[in-house]
């Protein structure tokens, strides 16, 4: 039986209490525990969120919400993980456009009812758009009507999709002695991205995260450091401004196993009222092709022209993607969500740092030039420490 | 890296109309090593509807501007005594489209299975959860993943757009759709990861399909509008206002549907789509709107500044603000209401009803059928394949009042499970006469009773036998609800759930032939009889 | 292993308060199951406990020596019902437990358990309405054995079940009394001589059993802060792995709607969120958490990290669904638990607040450090009877405790590791 310790770390740049962190702020955490090992997949980010409109607390009528599929993950635009000091000091990953990645991960592996689970509810996730509004309202007591008071901020505890939280089964725990201390930094998302709804149209909807701390679990260091295999991703953004797009990406990743793609219209990405993280349809998809060089022949030898074939391959491209449990069905697609394209690499990992990955898209939507689409390409990368 | 290849069927003309149900594929000699577990039959289909509904004012007849939420319906029997209601059951596997299947190679038959549809449907009802069927976009019928009032759901035979940019709306369109039947859901040998055509040479896969049981269909009923009907204490909150149409002469009317009793929250709850044909009417004597047929041209979130009027006190909006409000714009030509410009007050329900094509105008086309395989150019596959297969035995018994069925059957060597279906002659779901009222049964193997008491049908001992049998079949059970999902499920018709009428028996493995004794007792007073099919699961190798 | 025979055994003793099974064969697989049934015309089993609400205590004995047991098993099994994914509870477990866990959306877009099976007036343990108890969930020693040798290692093996005769613990509605039918034990008897011989070589094993201790927290008056540090002796000198804290409102009758017939929320199995609650545990004079747990988000995440998936209703572990109040028609109408017929929020809000954590050490001294504030409360159900955040609490602490069995000279010695 291993003697475990629960650690809690405040931000190294913690603001005075009551103020909280808000859009564009950076929060840094330093993890160090001499003589101990960080238990795999145990890092959590906890805190409370205060959302206001025009400087006042939300009311029942406020149409201000967060993306219900990702909950509190939507407040974090990006993460950086590094071994800051020690024998193996290095930058491990830079996770840009992070909330969209989390949304894709959710769509490919969860049905709407899967949200009835303690870990997802603690992240302020919900089953429908409306949930994204309810979860950010102040919390009240169980008293009936007149005596009930709503004086508590909603709290969250997310499991950020960092490499330290995506360690592959069989990986050893991380030794602070052998490797060094860890720094995790996050940049908070702009309010216009984290929040949406008609109540945001005046641009006064804001949020702040309070009492933010990072928790993790450690066990005694046994003096050995086995291999640690972690999943991560590299990100590239492109666009489609006509009925055809040919994206040639050179990806800074050496062990890529798949590529997943999602879409949003350019106008919605900057919209105050529409969900910037929505996984929108690529309108009237006609053809889809992937190309890349490896030592063997191409994987998919035909042009994908069936929409559900493309979606199914998109689901399969994501680690954890489940063809028998996801939210990528026509009901969701018609509502501009649950639309993911992509391809896995047949179980192989490929070094894309020195060669191009090609994506060829054709659409029948003639108005693309008036309403261009942004393409978000996530390359699933594996790291070994 | 392996390749994903598409192999055309041998039926060059791809004509699968009428009763043309035979499909076959060849895996050529020395063409590589196939991963059968990742291979599937791909059926490219299209279901479309032609507009022949009489249109009184708006739109031209058959103008082709509309897109319908068409679907396929699977009719387990071509004619009576087909139970019509069973056409709404969601098949738990697309293998229901395969009636008989054969796989033959140079070394002889690999696997021959009759009544694939009956076996796999009744087997996979325990293998697929409700949520799995909702997620399965390559299926035949998708059940409601969103519980709309009538339980309707969007099917994959069209690309429907429920919300889009106001200035640049994306049109919905009918599309080809690919139904996938994984090989491993047809053949047990389909679980093999390395099938080497240098060892087994030319391999033919021949399927007798059930295309004649697949018919184009539509979802009927008043779709979703009950959400917007005024009912006693929960009024409809729509507002119809006139506004100027640049084309002059006619007036384009749009309506903003505010939240109602159910709260229209979430784009996925929008029951409409761009290109949908609808009929709009209002029966109020004062603000009557004669029924008109029109097509939705745009759907977008209310942005607070559009042409639609804002909330006004006393005008019927029961909740504050514009939460969840969408704007629907119709096809351009429409009549004004007879008096005033406001309709949809508390007492005036505005009815928007989906208008469907007549059934005679629904058409289905099966465009092509291919075998999509994962193939490696080379690889060291085992020289011998060990797998399992089913041996089928059918039995019919006379129908007589209060009959207790008592029969003996042979169990072949190396058999570890038997699946017994009791369905109406030739059917898949529908129970054989009286068998839906099986009270209990007893089973002996070589004269030994497998239980010291009768097994109550659908009871816990019965379920335990199913769990043990599924384990022997190499499956991980995902559901013991023991019911077929209805695609139009709602709490209102929950009691009409259709149970799988299957007995499964785990058999102790033996190298000798054994004898199965089966005694089935119906509920008192029920006449029992019909057809019974035994699928015996045995070890095989080639 | 090729020679197995499925056997259905009747109890050798059965009464309204107790049943006893005896296994007379040579060896059995450890996947023993009991079919359990309580008949009550039209009533549902407890939505939280399901059929397991019938079980008070259960014991496994050999030659009179208690190998393993679970006391107040209905409460423990309530958590085991919860300790699954939503999907599994819907598709697999509900037909086994007959609980109301496993939540689906309906056309109103609210969450609730659908198609719950009511009990009929006369049913048996073979009926569809009977439940199935996997003994390994309630007697964890069975997880360490593949084959139980009852010929030489564990002779005279007995399973003794004591029942709850208080319908409050069994059912959601107290309209009609229930009758517990004679249960059935399903087991697989091992007939292979070689397997029986191999299983006879067992000389010992270790496992984590479930033990429980409890403490009563008195009621707190409105606006007052209550802070209690309570010593818990039940785990002294034991190797403790994981722990779970569950709260129950006292007296039990408080968990019923006016009239005392229908459960409020999950009835006696409610574990209410408390107001401004702070919890910590001092183990061997060190606090487990650097600062007491007070945020519901963090509590839920640690619960999941410790015990795995926990099937909780949205807003089941917070005290309100947003700005909605008990006793007032809800504004938040979708994505929430089924509203009451009046349109008010569900009584299940805030009833699923559990605390779990990994202890992972030998406990010599254990203290519960607990505080809460009493809100001004007008009674949750409008009748001033239930003040869920002021009333007295029974706090139960469950722990996985390491035990061992040694077989020496034909004698069974059970002790703490």
Q: Which helix (H) or strand (E) holds A121?
A: helix A118-121
Of the candidates A119, A142, A217, which has its C-beta nearest C388's C-beta?
A142
Query: Contact, A103 vs A279, CB < 8 A?
Result: yes
Query: Could you tell me the sign of the dihedral formed by the alpha carbons of A194, A198, A200, A205, in that order?
Result: negative
Give the B window 80-139 contacts with A, CB below 8 Å.
128-129, 131-132, 134-138
Whether B177 and A306 lie within 8 Å, measured CB to CB = yes
Provide the residue ranges of all domains of chain C, joining segments of one domain with +: 4-202, 206-312+352-403
Q: Tokens representing C317? A: 């572990």
How many angstroms separate the most distant Cα atoms in chain C? 70
Of the candidates C273, C300, C375, which has its C-beta nearest A143's C-beta?
C375
pLDDT: which is higher, B330 or C376 = C376
Predicted TM-score (pTM) above 0.90: yes
A297-303 long-range contacts (CB < 8 A, ≥24 apart) are A297/B1, A297/B3, A297/B377, A298/B1, A298/B3, A299/A343, A299/A345, A299/A346, A299/B1, A299/B2, A299/B3, A299/B4, A300/A343, A300/B3, A300/B4, A301/B3, A301/B4, A301/B5, A301/B6, A302/B4, A302/B5, A302/B6
Whether C319 and A142 lie within 8 Å, measured CB to CB = yes
Domains of chain A: 5-220 (3.90.249.10), 229-384 (2.60.120)
pLDDT: which is higher, A350 or B56 = A350
Q: What is the pLDDT of residues A126-183, one digit of tens each?
A: 998 889 999 999 999 887 777 778 889 999 999 999 999 999 999 999 999 999 999 9
Cis peptide bond N-terminal to B81, omega within 30: yes
Q: What is the pLDDT of residues A207-218, one digit of tens each?
A: 999 999 999 999
From A34, A28, A156, A6, select the one nearest A81 (Cα to Cα). Answer: A28
pLDDT, average across residues A30-37: 95
A63 touches chain B (CB under 8 A): yes
> Of A214-223, B213-222, B290-299, which has the strongest mean pLDDT?
A214-223
pLDDT, average across residues C180-207: 94
pLDDT at C46: 92
Residue B309 has pLDDT above 80, yes or no: no
C-alpha span between A366 and B448 (Å, rounded) = 73
Worst-scoring range by mean pLDDT, A173-187, B308-322, B484-498, C60-74? B308-322
Read off the pLDDT band of C107 (50, 70, 90): low
A27 touches chain B (CB under 8 A): no
Cα first-last separation, chain A: 26
From B122, B42, B51, B52, select the one nearest B89 (Cα to Cα). Answer: B122
Q: What is the pLDDT of residues A232-277, one digit of tens each?
A: 999 999 999 999 999 988 888 889 999 999 999 999 898 898 899 9
Cis peptide bond N-terminal to B197, omega within 30: no
A155 touches chain C (CB under 8 A): yes
C-alpha span between B36 and C234 (Å, rounded) = 57
pLDDT, average across residues B447-470: 93
pLDDT at B315: 31
Whether B268 and A332 lie within 8 Å, measured CB to CB = yes
Query: Contact, B102 vs B452, CB < 8 A?
Result: no
- The complex scores an ipTM of 0.94
Whether A61 and B323 lie within 8 Å, measured CB to CB = yes
* Nearest C-alpha in C relative to B488: C107
Residue B494 has pLDDT above 70, yes or no: no
C127 touches chain B (CB under 8 A): yes
pLDDT at B248: 25
C-chain CB neighbours of B151 within 8 Å are 107
Whether A324 and B128 lie within 8 Å, measured CB to CB = yes
pLDDT at B284: 52
pLDDT, average across residues A312-321: 93
Q: Tokens representing B68? A: 């319908």
Residue A60 has pLDDT above 90, yes or no: no
CA geometry: angle at B516 spanning B515 and B518, to 5°?
150
Residue C273 has pLDDT above 50, yes or no: yes
Provide the residue ranges of all domains of chain B, joining segments of one domain with +: 3-50+67-161+169-219+368-379+387-541, 225-354
Query: Contact, C242 vs C288, CB < 8 A?
Result: no
pLDDT at C126: 81
pLDDT: which is higher, A199 or B153 = A199
CATH topology of domain C206-312+352-403: Jelly Rolls (2.60.120)
pLDDT, average across residues A179-198: 95
Whether A145 and C325 lie within 8 Å, measured CB to CB = yes
pLDDT at C213: 96
Distance from CA of C110 to the nearest CA of B (A): 10
C-chain CB neighbours of B477 within 8 Å are 92
C203 touches chain B (CB under 8 A): no
Whether B159 and A307 lie within 8 Å, measured CB to CB = yes
Residue C407 has pLDDT above 80, yes or no: yes
Residue B340 has pLDDT above 50, yes or no: no
pLDDT at B342: 38
Read off the pLDDT band of B50 (50, 70, 90): low
pLDDT at C222: 86
Q: Tokens representing B484? A: 């077929």
CB A303: neighbour CB atoms within 10 A? 11
Torsion angle, alpha carbons of C319, C320, C323, C329, to 10 = -140
Whether B135 and A302 lie within 8 Å, measured CB to CB = no
pLDDT, average across residues A308-334: 90
Q: Tokens representing B430? A: 């529908």
> Of A318-327, B137-146, C304-313, which has the strongest mean pLDDT?
C304-313
pLDDT at B143: 73
pLDDT: which is higher, B495 or C22 = C22
Of the candidates A3, A114, A145, which has its C-beta nearest C378's C-beta?
A145
Helix residue spans in C30-129 (DSSP H): 73-82, 86-88, 94-97
B-chain CB neighbours of A274 within 8 Å are 301
Residue A116 has pLDDT above 90, yes or no: yes
Residue B292 has pLDDT above 80, yes or no: no
Chains A & B: contacts with CB separation below 8 Å: 172
pLDDT at C300: 97
A197 touches chain B (CB under 8 A): yes
Of the candidates C92, C109, C333, which has its C-beta nearest B480's C-beta?
C92
**Given a contact as 3+ CB pairs under 8 Å, which chains touch C?**
A, B
Of the candidates B138, B168, B270, which has its C-beta nearest A367's C-beta?
B168
Tokens 């033919």 locate to B204
* Nearest C-alpha in A relative to B139: A308
Residue A68 has pLDDT above 90, yes or no: yes
Distance from CA of A285 to the nearest CA of B (A): 10
C191 touches chain B (CB under 8 A): no
pLDDT at B250: 28
pLDDT, average across residues B483-493: 62
C-chain CB neighbours of A4 within 8 Å are 358, 360
Distance from CA of A142 to the nearest CA of C (A): 6
Residue B56 has pLDDT above 60, yes or no: no
Of the candidates C314, C333, C360, which has its C-beta nearest A1's C-beta?
C360
* Nearest C-alpha in C relative to B261: C333
Mean pLDDT of chain C: 91
From A15, A306, C135, C264, select the one nearest B177 (Cα to Cα). Answer: A306
Query: Per residue in C285-309, is it b (16+ CB within 10 Å) or e — as a string?
Result: eeebbeeebbbbbbbbbbbbbbbeb
Read off the pLDDT band of B300 (50, 70, 90): confident
Mean pLDDT of chain A: 91
CB B307: neighbour CB atoms within 10 A? 13
Residue B57 has pLDDT above 60, yes or no: no
pLDDT, average across residues B292-314: 53
Chains B & C: contacts with CB separation below 8 Å: 96
C117: buried, middle or exposed (CB in 10 Å: 19+, 13-18, 0-12)? middle
- Beta-carbon contacts of A284 under 8 Å, excluding residues fewer than 6 positions away, are A363, A364, A365, B159, B170, B171, B173
Tokens 């299975």 locate to B113
Specify the pairing of strand C286-287 against strand C392-408. unpaired
C223 touches chain B (CB under 8 A): no
A273, B83, B102, B114, C338 from A125: Cα distances, Å: 19, 42, 48, 47, 18
CATH topology of domain C4-202: Adenovirus Type 2 Hexon; domain 4 (2.70.9)
Whether B463 and C95 lie within 8 Å, measured CB to CB = yes
Residue A343 β-bridge partners: A259
Query: Contact, B432 vs B530, CB < 8 A?
Result: yes
pLDDT at B65: 67
A128 touches chain C (CB under 8 A): yes
B190, C188, C198, C306, C409 from C202: Cα distances, Å: 42, 19, 8, 31, 12
pLDDT at C383: 57
Distance from CA of B460 to the nearest CA of C (A): 6
Compute the half-sphere exposure of residue C206: CA atoms within 13 Å on the CB side of its CA.
8
Whether B324 and A199 lie within 8 Å, measured CB to CB = no
A281 touches chain B (CB under 8 A): yes
The rounded percent of chain B whose pLDDT value lies above 90 is 35
Of the candidates A268, A305, A324, which has its C-beta nearest B136's C-beta?
A324
DSSP assignments along B153-213, one per residue: ---TTEE--SS--SSSPPPPEE--EEEEEEGGGT-GGGG-S-EEHHHH-SEEEEEEE-GGG
CA geometry: angle at B459 spanning B455 and B463, to 5°?
90
pLDDT, average across residues C301-308: 97
From C277, C53, C316, C28, select the one nearest C163 (Cα to Cα). Answer: C53
Query: Could you tell me the sign of the dihedral formed by the alpha carbons of C337, C342, C343, C344, in that order?
Result: negative
């Amino acid at each position: 039986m291993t003697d475990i310790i629960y650690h809690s770390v405040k931000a190294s740049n913690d603001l005075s209490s009551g103020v909280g962190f808000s859009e564009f702020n950076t929060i840094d955490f330093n993890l160090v525990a001499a003589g101990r090992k960080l238990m795999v997949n145990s890092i959590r980010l906890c805190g409370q969120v205060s959302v206001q409109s025009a400087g006042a607390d939300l009311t029942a009528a406020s149409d201000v919400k967060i993306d219900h599929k990702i909950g509190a993950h939507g407040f974090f635009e990006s993460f950086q993980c590094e071994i800051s000091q020690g024998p193996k000091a290095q930058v491990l990953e830079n996770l840009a456009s992070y909330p969209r990645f989390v949304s894709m991960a959710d769509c490919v592996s969860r049905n709407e009812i899967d949200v009835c689970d303690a870990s997802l509810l603690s992240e302020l996730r919900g089953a429908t758009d409306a949930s994204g509004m309810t979860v950010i309202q102040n919390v009240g007591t169980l008293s009936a009507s007149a005596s009930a008071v709503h004086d508590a901020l909603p709290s969250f505890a997310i499991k950020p999709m960092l490499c330290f939280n995506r360690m592959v089964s069989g990986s050893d725990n991380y030794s602070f002695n052998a490797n060094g201390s860890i720094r995790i930094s996050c940049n908070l998302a702009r309010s216009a991205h984290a929040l949406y709804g008609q109540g945001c149209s005046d641009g006064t909807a804001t949020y702040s995260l309070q009492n933010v701390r990072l928790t993790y679990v450690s066990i005694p260091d046994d003096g050995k450091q086995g291999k640690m295999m972690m999943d991560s991703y590299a990100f590239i953004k492109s666009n489609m401004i006509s009925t055809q797009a040919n994206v040639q990406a050179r990806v800074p990743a050496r062990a890529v196993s798949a590529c997943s793609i999602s879409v949003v219209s350019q106008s919605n990405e900057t919209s105050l009222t529409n969900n910037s993280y929505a996984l929108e349809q690529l309108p009237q998809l006609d053809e889809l092709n992937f190309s890349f060089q490896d030592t063997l022949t191409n994987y998919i030898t035909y042009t994908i022209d069936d929409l559900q074939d493309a979606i199914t391959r998109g689901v399969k491209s994501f680690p954890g993607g489940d063809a028998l449990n996801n939210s990528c069905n026509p009901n969701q697609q018609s509502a501009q969500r649950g639309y993911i394209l992509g391809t896995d690499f047949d179980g192989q990992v490929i070094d894309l740092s020195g060669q191009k990955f090609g994506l060829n898209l054709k659409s029948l939507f003639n108005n693309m030039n008036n309403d261009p689409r942004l393409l978000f390409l996530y390359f699933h990368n594996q790291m070994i420490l | 890296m392996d390749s994903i290849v598409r192999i055309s069927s041998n039926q060059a003309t791809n004509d699968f109309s009428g009763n043309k149900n035979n499909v076959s594929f060849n895996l050529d000699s020395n063409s590589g090593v196939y991963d059968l577990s990742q291979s599937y039959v791909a059926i490219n289909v299209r279901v479309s509807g032609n507009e022949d509904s009489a249109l009184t004012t708006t739109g031209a007849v058959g103008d082709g501007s509309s897109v319908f939420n068409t679907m396929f319906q699977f009719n387990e029997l071509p004619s009576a005594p087909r139970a019509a209601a069973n056409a709404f059951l969601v098949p738990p596997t697309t293998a229901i489209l395969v009636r008989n299947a054969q796989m033959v190679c140079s070394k002889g038959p690999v696997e021959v299975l009759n009544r694939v549809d009956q076996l796999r449907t009744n087997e996979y009802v325990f293998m697929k959860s409700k949520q799995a069927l909702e997620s399965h976009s390559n299926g035949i019928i998708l059940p409601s993943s969103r519980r709309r009032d009538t339980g309707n759901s969007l099917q994959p035979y069209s690309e429907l757009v429920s919300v889009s940019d106001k200035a640049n709306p994306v049109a919905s369109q009918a599309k080809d759709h690919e139904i996938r039947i994984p090989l491993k859901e047809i053949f047990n040998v389909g679980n093999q990861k390395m099938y080497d055509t240098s060892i087994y040479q030319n391999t033919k896969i021949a399927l007798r399909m059930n295309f004649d049981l697949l018919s184009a269909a539509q979802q009927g009923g008043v779709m979703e509008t009950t959400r917007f009907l005024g009912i006693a204490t929960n009024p409809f909150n729509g507002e119809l206002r006139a506004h100027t149409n640049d084309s002059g002469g006619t007036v384009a009317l749009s309506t903003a549907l505010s939240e109602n009793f159910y709260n229209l929250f979430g784009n996925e709850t929008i029951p409409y789509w761009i290109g949908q044909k609808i009929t709009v009417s209002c029966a109020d004597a004062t603000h009557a709107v004669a029924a008109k047929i029109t097509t939705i041209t745009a759907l977008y979130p209310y942005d607070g500044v559009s042409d639609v009027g804002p909330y006004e006190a006393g005008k019927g909006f029961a909740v504050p603000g514009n939460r969840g409000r969408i704007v629907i714009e119709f096809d351009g030509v429409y009549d004004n209401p007879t008096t005033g410009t406001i309709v949809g007050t508390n007492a005036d329900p505005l009815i928007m009803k989906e208008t469907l094509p007549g059934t005679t105008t629904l058409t289905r086309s099966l465009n092509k059928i291919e075998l999509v395989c994962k193939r490696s150019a080379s690889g060291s596959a085992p020289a011998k394949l060990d797998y399992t297969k089913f041996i089928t035995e059918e039995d019919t018994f006379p129908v007589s009042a209060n009959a207790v069925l008592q029969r003996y059957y042979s169990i072949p060597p190396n058999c570890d499970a038997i699946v017994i279906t009791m369905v109406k002659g030739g059917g898949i779901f529908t129970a054989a006469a009286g068998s839906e009222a099986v009270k209990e049964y007893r089973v002996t193997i070589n004269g030994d009773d497998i239980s010291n008491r009768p097994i109550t049908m659908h009871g816990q001992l019965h379920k335990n036998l199913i769990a043990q049998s599924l384990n022997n079949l190499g499956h991980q059970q995902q559901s013991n609800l023991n019911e077929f999902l209805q695609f139009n499920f709602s709490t209102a018709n929950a009691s009409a759930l259709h149970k799988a009428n299957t007995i499964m028996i785990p058999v102790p493995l033996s190298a000798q032939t054994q004898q199965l004794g089966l005694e089935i007792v119906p509920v008192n007073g029920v006449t029992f009889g019909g057809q019974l099919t035994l699928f015996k699961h045995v070890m095989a190798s080639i | 292993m090729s020679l197995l025979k499925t056997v259905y055994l009747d109890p050798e003793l059965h009464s309204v308060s107790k049943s006893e099974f005896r296994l007379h064969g040579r060896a059995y697989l450890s996947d023993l199951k009991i079919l359990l049934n309580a008949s009550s015309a039209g009533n549902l089993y407890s939505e939280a406990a399901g059929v397991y609400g019938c079980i008070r205590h259960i014991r496994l004995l050999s030659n009179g020596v208690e190998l393993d047991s679970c006391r107040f098993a209905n409460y423990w099994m309530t958590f085991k019902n919860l300790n699954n994914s939503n999907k599994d509870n819907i598709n697999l477990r509900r037909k086994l437990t007959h609980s109301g866990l496993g939540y689906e959306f309906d056309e109103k877009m609210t969450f609730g358990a659908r198609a719950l099976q009511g009990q009929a007036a006369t049913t048996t343990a073979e009926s569809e309405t009977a439940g199935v108890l996997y003994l390994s969930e309630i007697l964890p020693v069975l997880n360490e054995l593949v084959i139980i040798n009852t010929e030489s290692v564990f002779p005279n093996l007995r399973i003794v079940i004591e029942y709850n005769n208080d319908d409050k613990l069994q059912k959601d509605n107290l309209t009609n009394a229930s009758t517990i039918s004679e249960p059935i034990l399903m087991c697989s008897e091992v007939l292979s001589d070689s397997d029986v011989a191999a299983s006879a070589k067992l000389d010992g094993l270790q496992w984590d059993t479930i033990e429980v201790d409890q403490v009563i927290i008195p009621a707190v008056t409105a606006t007052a802060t209550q802070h209690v540090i309570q010593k818990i002796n039940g785990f002294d000198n034991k190797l403790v792995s994981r722990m779970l804290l569950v709260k129950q409102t006292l007296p039990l009758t408080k968990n019923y709607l006016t009239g005392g017939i229908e459960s409020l929320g999950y009835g006696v199995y409610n574990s209410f969120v408390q107001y401004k609650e702070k919890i910590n545990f001092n183990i061997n004079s060190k606090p487990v958490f650097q600062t007491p747990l007070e945020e519901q988000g963090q509590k839920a995440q640690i619960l999941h990290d410790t015990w795995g998936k926990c099937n909780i209703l949205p807003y089941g572990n917070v005290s309100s669904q947003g700005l909605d109040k008990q006793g007032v028609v809800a504004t938040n109408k979708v994505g929430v638990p089924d509203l009451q017929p009046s349109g008010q929020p569900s009584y299940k809000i805030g009833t699923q607040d559990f605390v779990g954590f990994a202890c992972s050490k030998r406990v010599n001294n254990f203290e519960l450090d607990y505080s809460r504030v009493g809100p001004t409360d007008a009674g949750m159900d409008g009748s001033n009877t239930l003040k869920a955040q002021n009333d007295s609490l029974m706090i139960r602490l469950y722990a996985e405790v390491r035990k061992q069995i040694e077989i020496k000279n034909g004698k069974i010695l059970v002790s703490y590791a």
